[in-house]
Amino acid sequence: MVELMLLAPAGEVERISDALMELDALAVTVEDADADTPDEAPIFGEPGMPATFGEQIRGWRHSVLKALFENETLATEAATVLLAEEGWSDLHVQGLAPVAEQDWVRLTQSQFDPVRITDTFWIVPSWHEPPAQARRVMRLDPGLAFGTGTHPTTRMCLRWIAGHADVATPWPRVLDYGCGSGILAIGAALHGATGIDAVDIDTAAVESTLANAQANGVTLHAGLPDQANGSYPVVLANILSAPLKLLAPLLCGHVEAGGSLVLAGILERQIDELTEAYAPWIALEVGDREDGWVLLTGRRA
């Protein structure tokens, strides 16, 4: 296979990508042309929101498009057609390079090993055997939605579940708010919880949660946030500090008297801001820490 590299200005990237796909590209990836230079600028985007550069521009100032073609003839033809297009005078061909054949599936899989939550509770990709000491195993493969167990925020929530669930008196209801892959909801189910609602603003996350729940043989209800209803003995939310602040009244409203609220996605320096936002309803404390992230937990009076 051959990779065609093009330098494109912001604003044209989407159109050029589409054109490359129509010209038989097998895949197109876009990278920041200013990466590793003083002009490199991060782009931000909440899940489901358009990425922004600075305040309003979508994408990077200059982008490198890398298009994969079956052979050199197709790549050269595509470059010729694009350069002949009127109005794309800022488009430059950077070069063609052969791409070595790889076993992409094996390469991707090798990056995901089983994740230890406790000695006996593990997250294990489908292509791995569970470790011998694992007594509770969640089968989970990387997908479109966040939550494979490799992020400290997810791990802290799962550790909390493992440390607080009592299989003799399982939680009769659990709310996983911002469920992503459904990892926390499934974790709660594997610890005996029933009546689980897993909600997310991203429909891809909802679908992923349903598929992962089925793969693990657990029952839960997944849907958009308005599916959360009534009060729960346990409310888990691993989002980010800014949305968690806005969601304070709503999340606290879903915690039953004596119930627990577990929040993650919060950096050490955001502890005071968050505890203050939740103080009218629940006194939050640091329940766990890992790699600069904290878990804030509290009980509703």
Ligand X SMILES: C[S@@+](CC[C@H](N)C(=O)[O-])C[C@H]1O[C@@H](n2cnc3c(N)ncnc32)[C@H](O)[C@@H]1O
Closest CB 157 distance from ligand X, rounded Å: 5
* 212 in contact with ligand X (CB under 6 A): no
239 binding ligand X? (CB under 6 A): yes
8 A C-beta contact, residue 146 and residue 45 = no
**Which one, 5 or 261, has the nearer CB to ligand X?**
261
Burial class of residue 146, CB neighbours in 10 A (0-12, 13-18, 19+): buried
The reply to whether 178 sits near ligand X by the rule CB under 6 A is yes
When binding is defined by CB under 6 A, the residue of 114, 170, 225, 253 that contacts ligand X is 225
178: Cβ–Cβ under 8 A, 6 or more apart, which residues? 199, 200, 201, 237, 238, 239, 243
Is 154 annotated in a binding site? The answer is: yes
| Under rule CB under 6 A, residue 288 binds ligand X | no
Residue 187 binds ligand X (CB under 6 A): no
Q: How near is the Cβ of 255 to ligand X at its closest, in Å?
A: 16
Cβ atoms 66, 29 nearer than 8 A = yes
Q: Which is nearer to ligand X, 12 or 202 (CB)?
A: 202
- CA distances for 260 relative to 184, 187, 246, 255, 282, angstroms: 15, 16, 19, 7, 9
Q: Residue 227 CB, nearest distance to ligand X (Å)?
A: 11
Residues 6+ apart with CB under 8 A from 191: 136, 161, 162, 165, 167, 170
Is residue 265 at the binding interface for ligand X, with CB under 6 A as the rule? yes
Using CB under 6 A as the binding rule, whether residue 47 contacts ligand X is answered as yes
Distance CA 233, CA 175 (A): 9
Site for ligand X in 136-155 (CB under 6 A): 145-147, 154
Output the CA–CA distances (angstroms, integers) from residue 151 to 51, 114, 157, 196, in the order listed. Answer: 22, 13, 10, 22
d(C-alpha 31, C-alpha 42), whole Å: 11
Size of the site for ligand X (CB under 6 A): 22
**Residue 208 interacting with ligand X (CB under 6 A):** no
Q: What share of the chain is helix, strand, coil (3-state, %, to 5)?
A: 30, 30, 40
Ramachandran angles phi, psi of 15, nearest 5°: -65, -40
Q: Draw the binding track, 60-99, toward ligand X (x: CB under 6 A; -: no contact).
A: ----------------------------------------
Name the residue nearer to ligand X (CB basis): 154 or 270: 154
Round to whole Å and give the CA distance between 223 and 228: 8
Q: For ligand X, which residue of 2, 93, 96, 201 counts as binding (CB under 6 A)?
A: 201
Out of 130, 131, 243, 253, point to the residue binding ligand X (CB under 6 A). Answer: 243
Of 26-34, 51-59, 73-81, 174-182, the segment contacting ligand X by CB under 6 A is: 174-182
Asked whether the beta carbons of 8 and 89 are under 8 A apart, the reply is no
Of all helices (H) and strands (E), which one includes residue 22?
A: helix 13-22
Task: Please state the residue numbers annotated as binding site.
Answer: 154, 178, 200, 238
Which residues define the annotated binding site for S-adenosyl-L-methionine?
A: 154, 178, 200, 238
Q: What is the binding site for ligand X (CB under 6 A)?
A: 47-48, 145-147, 154, 157, 177-180, 183-184, 200-202, 205, 225, 238-239, 243, 265
